[in-house]
Amino acid sequence: MNLRAASTYAREVRDALPPNVFHPVPSRLAWLTLHVALAAAGIYAVGHGIGGWWAAPAWSLLIGHSFAGAAFVGHETLHGCVVRHRGLRYAVGWICFLPFTMSPRLWVAWHNKTHHGNTMDVVHDPDAYPTLEAYHASRVTRVADYFSFGASRPQGLMTLALGFTGQSAQMLLRWAGRPGTMSKPERRLAIFETLLGLGVWATVGWFVGPTHFIFAYLIPLLLANAVVIGYILTNHSLSPLTDVNDPLVNSLTVTVPSFIQRVHLNFGLHVEHHLFPSMSSAYAPLVRAELQRRWPERYQSLPLATALGRLFRTPRVYATQTRLHDPRTGLEASTLVPRTTSSPVAESAPSDAGQRAARLVGDVSFCE
């Protein structure tokens, strides 16, 4: 079975869904209110020593999970799934991503436009791991691979604690001075929003003191990174590189217990999100049911813990589109490939720019 553009799935599934699923869901902001209240209460408790030092780790856990939960709200909001007004989206997005001091404008340019428009494209997707050719050509890429979350890399555990914050900083440095990704005014605003976020946390640190700040912000930030990047790494890193943006091949849905799935706003239902990125994930289970009914042989889903375990046992460099390779140890592993997807994906090496120019890219809409 050949690859299919995302739009071909979307057209079929859309007709089976209620029309209201494509409307914004402002009630999602209630989750942000909850997470902001819990994080603020936790920071206040740490700063005032409520419960003593033995309680500080528990407060850190509460704060860190709320940091992650706010990021899930921000992800939906910046896709236009919660409110439509552009300025309000950015304001809510800035609050949601404040723990990571990430500009919402940077996120839209990086995630909404570039990643969704070029999912698992070997050159244009900033979230795709490198090819073997890129590994040998770039020392920076080799260093990044050394710290990746994969086989024979215990240091890659740092990715869970620092990955989302680190990648956000990397994208800001890469794009802040590069024309084309964002307009000049947008780049300036992205830098300003980042600096404003740093100023907020510096102020918090000044009020609570350096020791309390460790439990009020630094440890929670590590925990929030682990929650968010745990999902992000499994979204695509076990999947093949593709020349056609086919979410049922290049994306993976991961599942968690139903209560956690609800609290995390169905963030793990990622195949569904790539089909309809401007649809609230509140309705992602409806899409999941349709995909399982129509294409059970293509739809790919794993429990989150299983996917993370597989990530930790496999390399992160692509020798071919569907073959992962560790240049240091020689270890190889296959990517996840649907049972009915055959040679066009399974045997081809990563294609060059000339071949990619003719690729089919799904016309799934996403919000700027």
Instruction: Please give the Cα distance from 198 to 220 (Å, whole number).
Output: 16
Contact 17/9 with Cβ under 8 angstroms?
no
Stronger pLDDT, 167 or 364, i.e. the higher one: 167
Residue type at position 31: W
Task: Identify whether 265 is part of a domain.
Answer: yes
Residue written as token pair 């990125």: 277
- The reported pLDDT for the residue numbered 159 is 87
Report how many domains make up the chain. 1
pTM, rounded to two decimals: 0.90
Task: Identify whether 367 is part of a domain.
Answer: no
Task: Identify whether 174 is part of a domain.
Answer: yes
- The reported pLDDT for the residue numbered 363 is 29
Q: Is the pLDDT of residue 334 over 70?
A: yes
CA of 11: how far to CAs of 4, 264, 328, 340, 366, in Å? 12, 27, 44, 21, 15
* Confidence class for position 206, pLDDT limits 50, 70, 90: very high
Instruction: Please give the Cα distance from 128 to 319 (Å, whole number).
Output: 13
Across the range 146-157, mean pLDDT stands at 91
Q: How many helices (DSSP H) and strands (DSSP E) are in the chain? A: 19, 5
Identify the CA nearest to 217 among candidates 47, 35, 102. 47
Residues forming a β-bridge with 182: 179
Contact 89/104 with Cβ under 8 angstroms?
yes
Contact 333/314 with Cβ under 8 angstroms?
yes
**pLDDT tens digits along 25-64:** 999 999 999 999 999 999 999 999 999 999 999 999 999 9
- Residues of the chain with pLDDT > 70: what percent? 90
Domain that includes residue 145, residue range: 6-356
Instruction: Please give the Cα distance from 229 to 102 (Å, whole number).
Output: 14
Q: Is the pLDDT of residue 181 over 60?
A: yes
Contact 364/7 with Cβ under 8 angstroms?
yes
Task: Identify whether 361 is part of a domain.
Answer: no
> For the chain, what is the mean pLDDT?
90
Task: Identify whether 368 is part of a domain.
Answer: no
Angle between helical axes of 304-313 and 219-236 (0-180°, round to 10): 80
Task: Identify whether 362 is part of a domain.
Answer: no
Identify the CA nearest to 323 among candidates 333, 309, 313, 311. 333
Q: Which two tokens stand for residue 348?
A: 């081809």
Task: Identify whether 366 is part of a domain.
Answer: no
DSSP state of 110: I
* Confidence class for position 158, pLDDT limits 50, 70, 90: confident
Stronger pLDDT, 183 or 269, i.e. the higher one: 269
Contact 231/267 with Cβ under 8 angstroms?
yes
Q: Is the pLDDT of residue 345 over 90?
A: no
SS3 131: strand
Q: Is the pLDDT of residue 343 over 70?
A: no
Across the range 153-173, mean pLDDT stands at 89
Identify the CA nearest to 278 among candidates 60, 83, 47. 83
What are phi and psi for residue 18, nearest 5 degrees? Answer: -65, 145
Task: Identify whether 365 is part of a domain.
Answer: no
Contact 60/215 with Cβ under 8 angstroms?
yes
Query: For the chain, where are the E strands, in sequence order?
Result: 253-255, 301-303, 317-320, 323-325, 332-334
Instruction: Please give the Cα distance from 281 to 266 (Å, whole number).
Output: 6
